[in-house]
Amino acid sequence: MNRIVVTGAAGFIGSNIVKGLNARGIDNIIAVDDLTQGEKFRNLADLKMADYVDATDFYDMFTRGAFGEVEAVFHEGACSDTMESNGKFMLFNNYTLSCQLFEACSTSGTRLLYASSAATYGGSDTFREETAFERPLNVYGYSKLLFDQRMRRECGVNFEQLAAARGAQVVGFRYFNVYGAREQHKGRMASVAFHQFNQFALDGKVKLFGDYGGYAAGSQMRDFVFIDDVVAVNLWFLDHPEISGIFNLGTGQAQPFNDVADAVVNTLRRNKNEPALTHQALVTDGLIEYVNFPENLRGKYQCYTQADLSALRRAGCNHVFADVQGGVSKYVDCLLSQP
């Protein structure tokens, strides 16, 4: 396979995609990122690649054709902080640079597989890849939606029209709540499972939000998707260059935050040869604790997300996703194995 570019390569999803490519024997990879946050180097240290390029330089260089023939770009680079309020900064990083990359890919006939987000749905209660259900609650969600809208205008609502016209694939992945290895640098934006693991290590208990939005304590529901599944679906589309479009990438099954906490704590107990406890027992024993819902998140918080996988299945991708119990348990074991 010809050269592949991964933007955001030192980030959470990007580094796992590089790892997935390496597992296939592919290392002719240009890794692109901004290592101002130097600790992100750890996500690259065990990976194989042809070169590293700073994100500040990459987009203009790619437009000039500086990297020769490139088969595909996995565009994971973005500002993913949903609490970022600087709209100018957000739109430049998530929209303007993405548009520049798309134009360059169009000129060179390079395939583009890019990260969108379930944040595009925001306050909706239906999570299907249609404009009627796209109601972002923050500028991050809007920045991702704006690029999706640009792709619809450029490609037609049916991206297959573009693939046929330019001979190159364009795929947008609306990631739901992704968790897994190599997210340690994300700080407050790391997954619920990661924070709960560290809370338990510090305090001997996990804290969850109390009742909010019509949901009982810890019963707000999200579509939690394991990073290994995210990588598998990305690589499935790499294997199917004839398929283009915007696709949800979640499990298709919402689960409550209580399930994540139960899986984290019981996996930690298993590693200490302690028996698993029911959710109620975990609460009664003080291993799970509820706190008041934060005022600053009111009106900006999705209490329920569940990916509609109809489009993904129609495309022929029948990947089987891990549930919270299986994925989180595997993730906690991974965290425990690290220094």
Find the catalytic residue in 59, 114, 121, 140. Answer: 140
pLDDT digits (tens, 9 = 90+) for 150-205: 999 887 656 665 555 556 899 999 999 999 999 999 998 999 999 999 999 999 99
Q: How do residues 191-249 score in pLDDT, each as one tens digit?
A: 999 999 999 999 999 999 999 999 999 999 999 999 999 999 999 999 999 999 999 99
Structure tokens, 107 = 């000129």
Confirm whether 59 is a catalytic residue. no
| Terminal C-alpha separation, the chain | 35
Type of residue numbered 17 = I
Closest to 264 in 3D by CA, of 175, 195, 176: 195
Tell me 304's DSSP state: B
185 vs 330: CA distance, rounded Å = 20
Distance CA 27, CA 51 (A): 10
pTM given for the model:
0.95
How far is Cα 142 from Cα 144, in angstroms, rounded to an integer?
Answer: 5
Question: Do residues 112 and 234 make contact, with C-beta atoms less than 8 angstroms apart?
Answer: no
Residues with Cβ within 8 Å of residue 94, at least 6 apart in sequence:
78, 79, 140, 143, 144, 146, 147
Q: Is 118 exposed, middle or buried (0-12, 13-18, 19+ CB in 10 A)?
A: buried
**What does the pLDDT look like over 253-295, one tens digit per residue?**
999 999 999 999 999 999 999 999 999 999 999 999 999 999 9
Q: Write down the catalytic residue from 48, 186, 207, 300.
A: 186
Residue 186 known to be catalytic: yes
Which is it for the CA torsion 151, 166, 79, 179, positive or negative?
A: positive
